[in-house]
Structure 1
């Protein structure tokens, strides 16, 4: 990876919703194995779903710049070609005006040891870039990151 395609993140946030019917320990162990975010780092709160069902809202923060970058590389390198192409082609839809990068990963597939993008029932990962003063350059950097990891 050349120096101009290196994207540095200041931190990352990992969030997920666990339903009462899901094995909490199993899901957190799968997330830890796939993403290397320790299960013990997740904190959460009990809540109620749309139909009154019990859910747990869990979140963890990867506050080290080095670990956040490693997490991004780990996720992107684990994605299949189609998902990487989707990110590359539609990177604007995965980032905001501050240059934050948002990835939604399929929770069920993570439990199977596979990493793929998802729209619903997802593990949400938000990456905050180190430099926020040029969000438009973040998009180009993200494209470079996606194309450089194989």
Structure 2
């Protein structure tokens, strides 16, 4: 039902990279993010941490984690915004607050300073409508 899950987050100069990895590890067990270093427009380093999770068990664990740990308000937001959060290729886009994750709270955010998660939903034929139908089966709150 899930092809893969990818995540990406930025570590700015004012943040501790280890703490950001701790925040990621709240969402994903034993994260091994790939590290890329780039610069902002002022020349300051920005570290990008990202990974692609393809193991079915880990993908199932993450979906179960969302089903169990999202607040009822966040579940309602996803339910109401599902069509806008899904693209034509079956990618579901979610953003989670980094600071809340560090405090072991799962909280959706609209901020760019977040852990960006893309869930590639398996549907055949590939379409937004088919992916939404599958999403209704895997998320217990839709």
Given the two structures, how large is their TM-score scaled by the length of structure 1?
0.83
Aligned to 1:75: 66
Q: How does 1:53-68 map to 2 (within 5 A)?
A: 53-68=44-59
Q: How does 1:1-150 map to 2 (within 5 A)?
A: 8-32=1-25, 34-39=26-31, 41-120=32-111, 121-135=113-127, 136-146=129-139, 148=140
Q: Which digits, 9 at most, give the CA deviation of each residue in 1:41-76, with x for residues without a partner?
A: 101211112443321011011111221122122123
Q: CA RMSD in A?
A: 1.7
The unaligned stretches of length 5 or more in structure 2 are none
Aligned to 1:4: none
CA distance in 2, matches of 1:134, 1:11: 15
Is 2:123–2:130's contact at 8 Å kept on the other side of the alignment?
A: no
Given the two structures, how large is their TM-score scaled by the length of structure 2?
0.88
CA distance in 2, matches of 1:66, 1:114: 23
Q: Relative to structure 1, is the Cα distance of residues 18 and 49 closer, same or farther in structure 2, using a 3 angstrom cutoff?
A: same
Which consecutive aligned stretches of 4+ in structure 1 deviate over 6 angstroms post-superposition? none
Number of matched pairs: 139
